[in-house]
A and B are shown apart, each in its own frame.
Chain A
Amino acid sequence: MSRLLEIDDLRVTFRTRYGEVTALDSVSLHVDAGETLGIVGESGCGKSITALSVMGLIPQPPGRIAGGAIRLQGEDIVGASPARLQALRGAEVAMIFQEPMTSLNPVFTIGSQIAEAIMLHQNVGADQAFKDAIALLDRVGIPSPDRRAHDYPHQLSGGMRQRVMIAMAVSCRPKVLIADEPTTALDVTVQAQIFDLLNEIQRDFGAAIVLITHDMGAISEMADRVAVMYAGRVIEEASADDVLDFPQHPYARGLIDCIPALGRPDHRLAEIPGVVPPLHLLGAGCAFAQRCAHRNDRCDREKPSLVNHGRHPVACHGAEESRL
């Protein structure tokens, strides 16, 4: 089966004052039509850089795609011309950003902003595009869309703005929709509405969704498959059920156990000590070793690679030696 989006051994580096650091290190991921891939990890793990790479939005310089391929329906978009990327963005792959207020232009009405996206990619006139924009606003659940289309972003609530972003992102029926923490700025009830909407849209359009989040709860509700990232590498990848029920990597376990659950009786939360190390301080060994309760000499010396040690692929020496 051909993969809709396939990231193959991607390596992205950034020039910093500490020298060149590797933000993504041999990342391989794929997503098929109608599927939701969750990418989970703390800030600084490379989730957003992965998304920006696919959109061709890595600032170059200081960033550089140092190796690997990103194939969209078989076409490698690493090194594609800016014009080609422009044609793909929006039409084939679209992105929903974290903060809808800063991603919408404050001086244009939301209707005209959606219409602009439609006119860029489809051969329609301004009137038709605006009508399409109203239909899309209706589709994403904005009440009285013909009136709301003339509103400016500041007149809408956070949840409404995120709906507008989604309307804009799906305006050209992209095959891949990347949602980068689409609900972090929103209340739980609104987050639930947005999640439900993304699921509906997926059913209607058959789009593949890449959901980037730090919340294992969101993964549980939304994702079919999960990739756990840490310090620029994928450290565990499997179906959502496998990762949630049988997490192999100590980091994945930590992410699941540290969530204060709604239905569990009181007990101490598991914590992952320390923080994600800065990229320029990554040594030769496993990036998680400093925070890991199961580290040994080998973890300090040698980077584990993503290999299946029985259940599903995981990058951990401890899992390989079955001593966790």
Chain B
Amino acid sequence: MTAPLLDVRDLTVRFALPKPSLFAPRPHLEAVRQVSFRLDAGKAFGIVGESGSGKTTTAMAAIRLTRASGGQVLLDGEDLLQLDDEAMRGKRRDVQLIFQDPYSSLNPRARVVDIVREPMDLMEIGTPQDRLDRVRELFELVGLRPDQLNLFPHQFSGGQRQRISIARALTTNPKLLVCDEPVSALDVAIQAQILNLLADLKDRLGLSYLFISHDLGVVRHVCDHVAVMYLGKIVESGPTDALFEAPQHPYTQALLAAAPSLARRKSRGYVRPLKVSGDPPSPINPPPGCAFAERCPRAGDICRSTPPELARSGAVDIACHFPGPPEV
């Protein structure tokens, strides 16, 4: 078995909260709790979950944009969390990022040619002429025209801006592209364009994606492997097909039941079978047992007292005391 490109082990992120009083101990919020996953080269790993589930924090901690409080992140066998700042800067070539909002992630006062070239300037890659050639090449690769090189971001539509972000992320020939909700801000028709572009790039350049999204349809389309997060923990993880076709965790099942689908018709009297009420609990004071217990239709006494451990069950890993297909 080959070593994975990215191997995240027991990653934990803790944020300090304000002290309630001068002499009280400082409380902490555990946004990510012992998350482990592996991403093979050329594959896409998806993290899904509701807002506040820690999916973005996990990805940001994995590439050291948020400080992790514990765990290991092995990129090609090297622990990113142990690198000194200068070595980490060098590693950033291999890891690039696409943000959710293409409006706020591009400098409005810079021409797009400069925006896309800037990573190469910072990393001192090639001669200025090489850099310009590379920008032209990338523009074509992501489906933009060379005559658009000297325009400003506001002259582009949302989908085109996301293409610019992708071109910028590709300048350094990264191995890993972290996509943080790359299509949530786009219209459905444009969303399909960007998803197809990402799929093409993965095939042509052998890229790996760490893909964060709340949209299960998008994740199903893009990812080879999916982890479902809830309140900072992975509750179910496995190959995309296995997870979507036979989800074992009640939360995964609820997420799938909640996602709108063309197969569910009002005219045929569709009524949602699995309803999840309420909101996730606060991560500041998480419940002692399973975090999902309060909203779970299957929860028993053990769920409220003992947190379930992530364990292998068939094709997937699952953290649940009562896994299994949904009861109808």
Chain A residue, CB-CB nearest to B276:
A189
Set B191, B222, B262, B279: member contacting A216, Cβ < 8 A: B262
Residues on B with C-beta less than 8 A from A143 are: 278
Interface assignment of A293: CB less than 8 Å from any CB of chain B:
no
Interface assignment of A43: CB less than 8 Å from any CB of chain B:
yes
Residues on B with C-beta less than 8 A from A216 are: 188, 262
Interface assignment of A160: CB less than 8 Å from any CB of chain B:
yes
A270 and B188 CA atoms in complex are apart in Å by 11
Taking a contact as CB atoms under 8 Å apart, the answer to whether B258 and A263 are in contact is no
A260 and B199 CA atoms in complex are apart in Å by 13
Taking a contact as CB atoms under 8 Å apart, the answer to whether A221 and B266 are in contact is yes
Taking a contact as CB atoms under 8 Å apart, the answer to whether B188 and A261 are in contact is no
Taking a contact as CB atoms under 8 Å apart, the answer to whether A241 and B196 are in contact is no
Taking a contact as CB atoms under 8 Å apart, the answer to whether A217 and B262 are in contact is yes
Residues on A with C-beta less than 8 A from B262 are: 216-217, 220, 244, 256, 259, 261
Interface-located stretch among A14-22, A191-199, A303-311 = A191-199
Interface set, chain B 249-277, CB cutoff 8 A to A: 254-267, 270, 272, 275-277
Taking a contact as CB atoms under 8 Å apart, the answer to whether B266 and A240 are in contact is yes
A131 and B157 CA atoms in complex are apart in Å by 48
Residues on B with C-beta less than 8 A from A244 are: 262, 265
Set A220, A241, A262: member contacting B244, Cβ < 8 A: A262
Set A196, A223, A262, A270: member contacting B216, Cβ < 8 A: A262
Chain A residue, CB-CB nearest to B183:
A260
A195 and B257 CA atoms in complex are apart in Å by 13
- Give the residue among A143, A196, A239, A260 with the most B Cβ atoms within 10 A: A260
Residues on A with C-beta less than 8 A from B259 are: 188, 217, 262
A273 and B190 CA atoms in complex are apart in Å by 8
Interface assignment of B214: CB less than 8 Å from any CB of chain A:
yes
Taking a contact as CB atoms under 8 Å apart, the answer to whether B279 and A220 are in contact is no
A271 and B195 CA atoms in complex are apart in Å by 9
Taking a contact as CB atoms under 8 Å apart, the answer to whether A42 and B192 are in contact is no
A196 and B277 CA atoms in complex are apart in Å by 11
Set A160, A215, A258, A266: member contacting B192, Cβ < 8 A: A258
Residues on A with C-beta less than 8 A from B132 are: none
Residues on A with C-beta less than 8 A from B313 are: none
Taking a contact as CB atoms under 8 Å apart, the answer to whether A260 and B221 are in contact is yes
Set B159, B244, B257: member contacting A192, Cβ < 8 A: B257
- Give the residue among A189, A223, A240, A261 with the most B Cβ atoms within 10 A: A189
A191 and B51 CA atoms in complex are apart in Å by 13
Interface assignment of A190: CB less than 8 Å from any CB of chain B:
yes
Interface assignment of A159: CB less than 8 Å from any CB of chain B:
yes
Chain A residue, CB-CB nearest to B190:
A275
Interface assignment of A36: CB less than 8 Å from any CB of chain B:
yes
Set B217, B221, B275, B279: member contacting A196, Cβ < 8 A: B275
Taking a contact as CB atoms under 8 Å apart, the answer to whether A192 and B195 are in contact is no
Residues on A with C-beta less than 8 A from B218 are: 260
Q: How far does the Cβ of A21 sit from chain B's closest Cβ, in whole Å?
A: 18
- Residue-wise interface mask of B (217-250) relative to A, using a CB-CB cutoff of 8 A (1 in contact, 0 not): 1101110000000000000000000001000000
Which B residues form the contact surface with A (CB < 8 A)? 50-51, 157, 159, 187-193, 195-196, 199, 214-218, 220-222, 244, 254-267, 270, 272, 275-279
